[in-house]
A and B are shown apart, each in its own frame.
Chain A
Amino acid sequence: MLDDFFIRALLAGIGVAFVTGPLGCFVIWRRLSYFGDTLAHSALLGVTLAFTMEFNIALSVFVISSMIALILIQLQKRTNLPGDALLGLLAHSSLAVGLVVIGFLTFIRFDIMGLLFGDILAVSVNDLLIIWIGGALILLTLKFIWKPLFASTVNYELAEAEGLNPDRAKAIFTILMAAIIAISIKMVGLLLITGMLIIPAAMARNLSSSPQSMVILSIVGGLLSVIIGLFTSLEFNTSSGPSIITAALLLFILSLFKIKQSIKLKN
């Protein structure tokens, strides 16, 4: 069964959606969407590194993204530039450096489109293992830091005062962000990973009244987006990433009607 590329892609996408659901909620709650973009753009550098050193792609993307996150934290401490300027600086310069390095690697055949927008044909059994084992590890870690992370998302000082160590939770969460980007890059592509994090979570926000229900709906939305997106991709021969994100967008638009209804009910 795993011989079929489509089944592999589907399993990979489902694995990714289980992880992007809860992480995406935190990205929205903590206003980290641009941060996610920055990490994703830096992933290109990770990919080129993997090709030059003949290294595992997911692992090298994870290492480079984590490094970019660390550099960002250092820059925030040492400069007076606002956070969004630093994020833009790192996002675009790491993307540019990555593309320049690719230009030098003439001896390797590069599928840049696949890298940027995802390629379902490229998912191997090996990638599946990385997604499911890595994804399980990410979810376990998230469960472990959930309380301090969530409490400090609501109010940092409360969490700090009542002894939850929010700084450690935040640092671990940053690493989890780098990890999800590393394992989902083949599916969604580096330009659209943040969309996979944000859009299902945004849809879930429209439909939920508690954090738990938002996380669950965000996972459901991600799963539906992957399934609908991949079938569309197969049917119309479109890139997998844009197809999944478009499906997610459609679900989000549908969720807007639910809001309209509940506002009507309130009045």
Chain B
Amino acid sequence: MSSDQNILVKLNNAGFSINDKWLVKGVSLQVEKGKIVTLIGPNGSGKSTTAKIALGIYKQIDGSVEKYTNKIGYVPQKISIDWTLPLRVNDFMVLTERLNNETIDEALSLTGVIHLKNKNLGDLSGGEFQRVLLARAISKKPDLLVLDEPVQGVDFTGEIALYELIKKISDELNCGILLISHDLHTVMSATDHVVCLNGHVCCSGSPMEVAKNNQYKALFGEQASQILSRYEHRHDHVHTDEGEIKKN
């Protein structure tokens, strides 16, 4: 059930290359209101690149991107902030949008870091900083959330709570979410659509479809609970060093 008005961002056969080397190629996907789309795949498979194409950070792309909203919240995978800047959590929260105090407090409470509001951003631990990043992205009540490994460095119980929060936000705000994650088990239950990348789209569909799709059977089979924490990526094809597909 997808009507065109619900589409927030749509990639048509999009690709991006640097110095004639393709980081990702031929990706088509769309994110709709209230839906969670998860990108999975091994390191270097082009997940972050795909997210940046969708966000419009990369402009010289192959194919096209159609963006239907400008209210976007982004949690990047890597963020290097220059600490020559005196920046408190509170200042960081209003970086791209003016927010009132209650909104800031509400978002920080949701991710469990309200007590850090007046702390210097440089003094936070990795997990704390990640929670602040997530709080900042959701505080502006965006139409589209792009979360690139949003819970990296967060402790285990916090991780599950944050994924529940992400699901809740998607329901409450009816916003679309493009999620990149390694830990398949925690995100699968909430995801509406999965895209498996490896320089190109390997397979995509609902989590169940992807799970049944040969390489995921093992992962979602009966022993799932024992191997949940390990995500194995198997292919029906192999890649050359350049990332081209070589059929067996």
Contacts and interface: CB of A to CB of B under 8 A. Distances in A.
A209 B86 contact: yes
Contact of A213 (B80, B86, B97): B86
B52 A157 contact: yes
A155 interface: yes
Interface stretch (B20-28, B87-95, B162-170): B87-95
A136 interface: no
B70 A211 contact: no
A96 B52 CA distance: 44
Contacts, number: 71
B1 interface: no
B243 interface: no
Given A151-B95, A155-B81, A161 B74 contact: yes
A57 B80 CA distance: 41
Given A158-B79, A160-B57, A161-B74, A211 B96 contact: no
B45 interface: no
A211 B86 CA distance: 6
A93 interface: no
A158 B88 contact: no
Nearest to A158: B74
Given A158-B79, A162-B96, 20 more contacts: A154-B81, A154-B82, A155-B76, A157-B52, A157-B74, A158-B74, A158-B95, A161-B52, A161-B57, A162-B72, A164-B96, A208-B86, A209-B86, A210-B86, A210-B87, A210-B88, A211-B85, A211-B86, A211-B91, A214-B86
18 contacts: A28-B84, A31-B82, A147-B96, A154-B95, A155-B79, A157-B55, A158-B79, A160-B56, A161-B55, A161-B56, A161-B74, A162-B97, A163-B72, A209-B120, A210-B86, A211-B91, A213-B86, A214-B86
Interface of A: 28-29, 31, 147, 150-151, 153-155, 157-164, 205, 208-214
